[in-house]
């Protein structure tokens, strides 16, 4: 058991080289531990409020920490020296987006600004001013040349990502903007507003192409289909609407308390959540094909597999279900110790990436349809057990259940509300999985 923090541990992260574990705490410190021996290497002091998150640079040489004191600090992960303290925002940061080349990132804040930072040095490259209220969303265009920001001031601004000059200010909404999305080809942008409408804009000229009306409450989410011809929007009116982008007409209204929706990779299917169920729709005929049942609480997220043959759904009941999109059959139920709010399939379809970490499914890994089926070599914590290759290795009793978990190969680190960190290395035998057609 690693002890040292005097307040709850909020986050833990392994360095990419697996040599160091960092723990972030409400005691305003970050601690660096030797991942093998458990010895305390450094206590990083400098923040004046709780530390909420930590992340290592890809080369393991730098560590960045985010704090409630409104700063980000960049540390030398070897010496523990503070290299940079990134200051500038005077309010909460609402959103962040990386450029397509990964060299810069943008942060959007309630201080009414967008800031551009250099990822490598942490230098503030530019502060983009012009909004008159909270900036709620920020996004780079697919090719990375344009940055869009959406604000409570009812406007969207297009910025040149290199010069940071304002290219366009898009006005037209009568209330604040909640979300926005570029089309896959980057030629259009959709904005969802508290005025109950979605507006579609020409991303080049800034011209208003369509105003989509039909919701009876805030429009809070928007996304283009893969081919860019249709648009899906979610609203506080408890509906999801599918729109023809060219005509501006409603193709379908999906009723019910919908929390999430997703298109299949080829755009032929739309999955939407409705309380404890998932509905699958044919986007051509708009017919309801399947109502998938099995969850015992609200479904929070859905995602299609890369080939569109499977669908994953995450629920507040603490489970993720992998379903056959044709038959609606449940292929596997995964139990998680955390509530999942977002999920997606890996590129090869062999595991699920969630906001709480990866979920490895023996069904997905052994699916004969995959070109290179495999099981992850890492252990994973599921349903209060440490598991590997589908086998339970260690049960976590109630008084040893962590507030956060990090896994690196055969090392599992647990952070606790008491301020303790526990790390266990599992000596695992090689497991060879036979795939049978």
Per-residue pLDDT of 309-332, as tens digits, reads: 888 887 777 677 888 888 888 887
CA separation for the pair 362, 351 (Å, rounded): 9
CB 168 within 8 A of CB 206: yes
Q: Which of 70-84, 261-275, 344-358, 384-398 has the lowest mean pLDDT?
A: 344-358
pLDDT digit string (tens) for 152-164?
999 999 999 888 8
The token duo for 177 is 């903007």
Rounded Cα distance, 43 and 16, in Å: 20
Instruction: Give yes or no for a contact between 235 and 241, defined as CB atoms under 8 angstroms apart.
Output: yes
Q: What's the pLDDT at 94? A: 66
290 and 279 in contact (C-beta within 8 Å)? yes
Low-confidence winner among 96-110, 205-219, 261-275 (lowest mean pLDDT): 96-110
107-111, 158-162, 386-390: least confident range: 386-390
* Domains parsed from the chain with CATH numbers: 80-425 (2.130.10.10)
Q: Which of 83 and 318 is assigned the larger pLDDT? A: 83
Q: What is the DSSP letter of 28?
A: S
């Amino acid at each position: 058991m690693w002890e040292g923090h005097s307040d709850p541990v909020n986050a833990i992260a392994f360095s990419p080289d697996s040599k160091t574990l960092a723990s972030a705490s409400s005691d305003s410190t970050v601690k660096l531990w030797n991942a093998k021996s458990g010895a305390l290497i450094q206590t990083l002091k400098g923040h004046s409020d709780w530390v909420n998150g930590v992340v290592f640079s890809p080369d393991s040489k730098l560590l960045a920490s985010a704090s409630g004191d409104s700063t980000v600090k960049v540390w030398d992960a070897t010496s523990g020296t503070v290299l940079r303290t990134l200051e500038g925002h005077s309010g909460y940061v609402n959103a962040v987006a990386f450029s397509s080349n990964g060299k810069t990132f943008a942060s959007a804040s309630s201080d009414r600004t967008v800031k551009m930072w250099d990822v490598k040095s942490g230098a503030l490259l530019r502060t983009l001013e012009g909004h008159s209220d909270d900036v709620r969303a920020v996004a780079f265009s697919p090719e990375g040349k344009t940055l869009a920001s959406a604000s409570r001031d009812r406007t969207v601004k297009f910025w040149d990502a290199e010069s940071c000059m304002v290219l366009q200010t898009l006005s037209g909404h009568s209330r604040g903007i909640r979300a926005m999305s570029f089309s896959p080809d980057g030629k259009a942008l959709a904005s969802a507003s508290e005025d109950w409408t979605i507006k579609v804009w020409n991303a080049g000229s800034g011209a208003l192409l369509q105003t989509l009306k039909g919701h009876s409450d805030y429009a809070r989410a928007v996304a283009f289909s893969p081919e860019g011809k249709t648009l899906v929007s979610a609203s506080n009116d408890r509906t999801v609407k599918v729109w023809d982008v060219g005509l501006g007409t409603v193709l379908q209204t999906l009723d019910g308390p919908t929390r999430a929706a997703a298109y299949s990779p080829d755009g032929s299917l739309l999955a939407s959540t409705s309380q404890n169920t998932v509905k699958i729709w044919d986007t051509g005929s708009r017919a309801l094909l399947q109502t998938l049942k099995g969850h015992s609480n609200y479904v929070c997220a859905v995602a299609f597999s890369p080939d569109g043959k499977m669908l994953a759904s995450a629920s507040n009941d603490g489970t993720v279900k992998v379903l056959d999109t044709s038959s609606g059959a449940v292929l596997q139920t995964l139990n998680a110790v955390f509530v999942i709010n977002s999920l997606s399939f890996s590129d090869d379809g062999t595991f699920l990436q969630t906001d709480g970490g990866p979920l490895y499914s023996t069904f997905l890994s052994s699916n004969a349809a995959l070109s290179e089926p495999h099981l992850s070599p890492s252990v994973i914590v599921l349903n209060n057990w440490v598991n590997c290759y589908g086998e339970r290795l260690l049960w976590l009793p109630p008084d040893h259940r962590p507030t956060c978990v990090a896994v690196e190969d055969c090392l599992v680190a647990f952070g606790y509300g008491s301020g303790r960190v526990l790390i266990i290395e599992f000596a695992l035998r090689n497991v060879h999985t036979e795939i049978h057609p």
